[in-house]
Amino acid sequence: MGCGLIAALSLPSALSGWRLDGNPSPPSTSQINSAEGQVKQNQASLGAAQGRLSTANRALADLQTQAEVLTERYDETLVNEQRAAAAYKVTQARLASARQAENSSQRQLAGLAAQEFESGGGFDAVTSMLGDANGPQGYLNEVGMGQVLAQQGTDTLAVNQANDVVATVFRTQAHDLLVAQQADLHAATALKVAIQAAVARQLQFVRADKAQQDKLATELATAEAHETALVAARQAYLAAQAAQRAAAAAAAAESQAASPTWSAGSGASATQGDIAANWALTQIGKPYQWGGAGPYSYDCSGLTMVAWEHAGVQLAHYTGYQWDAGPQVPLDQLQRGDLVFYATDNSDPGTIHHVGIYIGNGEMVDAPYTGAFVRIDSIYAPGVPIGAVDPAG
């Protein structure tokens, strides 16, 4: 009891504005439900944002992979263009050499033509023989030399033509190769710029989605903290009420010199009802468990049994027997601590399946069902009660 009073006196300062007279009121069940709904809404929004961020990240990863592929192609094309430029320089040198050879062969060809003319190539053979200063033998010698020169001119002409062909081939190949590689490099550069722009845009999308996710995560954390604070505040408020009532009941009980005032068939005293109700309030938040009778979990009849044990009344751990444990009480005359029962058929007490302990103002403490926790409910939350009992032991 002393621990309960100390806990009540040491509530967080945030609760100091809530007075036990209910003005202003502590957080209500509807406020807590609303906060819980807000948390679920924020969780859904955050989940959707996480999905969008995941999709954006996958798209970014795909684009980055494409960018790596195109960048490597760009690098390959750049190397090929550099090689083509180097080859172009080589072919330019070969072209210059070919042109020199062409010019040299042209000069040789011109010299042979001039020599042939000067040696009489422009006259007929008889005239050349008779007019030769050295006579026929000299002519014959000159004819032999002319044939040699003629053959040499033919060879020189062939070389000149070959040099011209080589120069043309070198010029065409070097130019075509360089132009092709430069065109490839231009296309690769355009692709590189395009994919880099796409990556940059997708990265902006990812950053925007990440910022939205972070914002929603912060909002969710705020909503969860708000819900937790409301639940803790209400539980602390109810615990403080229970502690004060328990202290008052204990003081009243100690002031009585006689034994409890109830007798068989008459029901328990109001003081005992307060003790049972106040103790039940201290168990709020503990989980429901079939057959549970504390201290960590309860089913409905286990909770009412242990609550009345604290008031000095022994009850069986079964709703059917608890229904017979005291006099019937009209619902409009309920007192704190009275047991409120529920049945599948209100005309048949044999169908009773649930019980709660009345705490006033139309509310009760009960352990409702599997998966739930000990909590405060309206006495009409499970349905219309079949009736109520004031336990007499």
Q: Determine the structural domain holding residue 103 and report its residue range.
A: 47-223
* 12-26, 106-120, 221-235, 357-371: range with highest mean pLDDT: 357-371
Residue 56 CB contacts under 8 Å (≥ 6 apart), including other chains = 202, 205, 206, 209
Q: In terms of domains, do 354 and 219 share one?
A: no
**What average pLDDT does range 251-267 have in this prediction?**
50
Say how far apart CA 325 and CA 352 lie, in whole Å.
14
Q: In terms of domains, do 70 and 135 share one?
A: yes
Q: Which two tokens stand for residue 275?
A: 């003790």
Asked whether residue 13 is domain-assigned, the answer is: no
Asked whether residue 4 is domain-assigned, the answer is: no
Q: In terms of domains, do 68 and 216 share one?
A: yes
80 confidence band (pLDDT: 50, 70, 90) = confident
- For the chain, what is the domain count? 2
Say how far apart CA 240 and CA 246 lie, in whole Å.
10
pLDDT score at 22: 44
Least confident of 93-107, 174-188, 261-275, 377-391: 261-275
Say how far apart CA 205 and CA 199 lie, in whole Å.
10
Asked whether residue 196 is domain-assigned, the answer is: yes
Among 296, 323, 290, 300, smallest CA distance to 391 is for 323
Q: In terms of domains, do 202 and 332 share one?
A: no
Between residues 43 and 100, which one has the greater pLDDT?
43
CA angle 131/136/140 to nearest 5° reads: 110
Q: Which of 223, 251, 285 is the last residue of a domain?
A: 223
Asked whether residue 247 is domain-assigned, the answer is: no
Asked whether residue 75 is domain-assigned, the answer is: yes
314 confidence band (pLDDT: 50, 70, 90) = very high
Q: In terms of domains, do 58 and 156 share one?
A: yes
pLDDT score at 262: 37
Q: In terms of domains, do 280 and 188 share one?
A: no
Q: Above 80 in pLDDT, residue 110?
A: no
What value does the mean pLDDT of the chain take? 80
Q: Which of 167, 199, 223 is the last residue of a domain?
A: 223
pLDDT score at 7: 36
What CATH number has the domain bearing residue 339?
3.90.1720.10
100 confidence band (pLDDT: 50, 70, 90) = confident
Burial class (CB within 10 angstroms; exposed 0-12, middle 13-18, buried 19+) of 381: middle
Say how far apart CA 262 and CA 337 lie, in whole Å.
14
Please, are residues 313 and 261 in contact by the beta-carbon 8 Å criterion? Answer: no
Between residues 245 and 323, which one has the greater pLDDT?
323
pLDDT digits (tens, 9 = 90+) for 192-219: 899 889 999 999 999 999 999 999 999 9
Asked whether residue 256 is domain-assigned, the answer is: no
pLDDT digits (tens, 9 = 90+) for 149-199: 556 656 666 666 666 676 677 668 777 888 888 898 888 888 889 988 999
Q: In terms of domains, do 212 and 336 share one?
A: no
pLDDT digits (tens, 9 = 90+) for 367-391: 999 899 999 999 999 999 999 999 9
Q: In terms of domains, do 186 and 287 share one?
A: no
Q: Above 50 in pLDDT, residue 284?
A: yes
Q: Above 80 in pLDDT, residue 113?
A: no
- Residue 281 gets the label, from left (phi > 0), alpha (psi -120 to 50) or beta, of alpha
Q: In terms of domains, do 170 and 289 share one?
A: no
What CATH number has the domain bearing residue 118?
1.10.287
pLDDT score at 263: 40
Q: In terms of domains, do 214 and 96 share one?
A: yes
Q: Which of 162, 191, 223 is the last residue of a domain?
A: 223
Q: In terms of domains, do 157 and 305 share one?
A: no
Q: In terms of domains, do 213 and 283 share one?
A: no
Among 343, 339, 265, smallest CA distance to 302 is for 339
Output the CA–CA distances (angstroms, integers) from residue 278 to 202, 273, 281, 282, in the order listed.
Answer: 62, 8, 5, 7
pLDDT score at 144: 59
Asked whether residue 148 is domain-assigned, the answer is: yes
Asked whether residue 131 is domain-assigned, the answer is: yes
Please, are residues 356 and 364 in contact by the beta-carbon 8 Å criterion? Answer: yes
